[in-house]
A = this chain, B = another copy of it.
């Protein structure tokens, strides 16, 4: 069967806003699995195949993708590359977003060294810190600037995303500086829940510990099961 050619029907911003957060949070996973299939040279897939490797029901997958127009073709399934690229587009990977990392400690360094940003089409512009020993240096080719110049830098360069890896106490002030400078989103690693209702800024609080706790729940269950068996 000839591979059907498809064109992405872009969905409107107001329609994007109505998509439930849980669906949005599954999109990056779909994108990862489809990328895996692409690397293996797979051209075509189905919701039931995706369902098997992802542990999500196939009706869930169809329902999720239907929010964005479906992407599938009756009797053919999904074209892997088309679906992969369409999801990348939905997730803004073609937008050329730019990022600054605030805090040049271990976590900030880990993020700047990872391929986290470039794999998602995001440009790393700079890091910011308060430590005079770090200011003026480069980390993995990214310059470290004085934290006091953060606001000016973001305004002048139209920075899209600020990644917050500072200690908890400094986080609220840095977040406000970013918001005032017109940054559109904060990726917050500070373990301080940040809300800035008076600004038009998106905040994604990254609580790594929550994932650790979900693991520990499972471990405790396992321990109890072993005890019960005895």
> Which residues of A does B touch, CB under 8 Å?
12-14, 16-17, 21, 24-25, 27-29, 31-32, 36, 90-93, 95, 97, 105-107, 109-110, 113-114, 116-117, 119-120, 122, 160-161, 184-185, 187, 193, 200, 202, 204, 206-225, 227-228
Of the candidates B207, B216, B225, which one forms a contact with A91 in the assembled complex, judged by CB atoms under 8 Å apart? B216
CA gap between A105 and B160 in the complex, in Å: 28
CA gap between A92 and B213 in the complex, in Å: 8
Tell me whether B204 and A214 are in contact (CB under 8 A): yes
Of the candidates B202, B211, B219, B225, which one forms a contact with A222 in the assembled complex, judged by CB atoms under 8 Å apart? B202
CA gap between A90 and B223 in the complex, in Å: 12
CA gap between A129 and B120 in the complex, in Å: 29
CA gap between A42 and B177 in the complex, in Å: 31
Of the candidates B161, B184, B225, which one forms a contact with A13 in the assembled complex, judged by CB atoms under 8 Å apart? B225
Residues of B within 8 A of A91 (CB): 213, 216-217, 220
Tell me whether B212 and A187 are in contact (CB under 8 A): yes
A14, A117, A219: most-surrounded residue (chain B CB, <10 A):
A219
Tell me whether B97 and A184 are in contact (CB under 8 A): no
Residues of B within 8 A of A105 (CB): 110, 113
CA gap between A209 and B228 in the complex, in Å: 39
A56 CB to closest chain B CB (Å) equals: 11
Question: Given A116-B208, A116-B212 in contact, is the A228-B12 Cβ separation under 8 Å?
Answer: yes
CA gap between A14 and B24 in the complex, in Å: 32
CA gap between A213 and B193 in the complex, in Å: 19
Residues of B within 8 A of A28 (CB): 207, 209-210, 213-214
A197 CB to closest chain B CB (Å) equals: 12
A26 CB to closest chain B CB (Å) equals: 9
Tell me whether A215 and B17 are in contact (CB under 8 A): no
Residues of B within 8 A of A32 (CB): 193, 207, 210
Tell me whether A219 and B107 are in contact (CB under 8 A): no
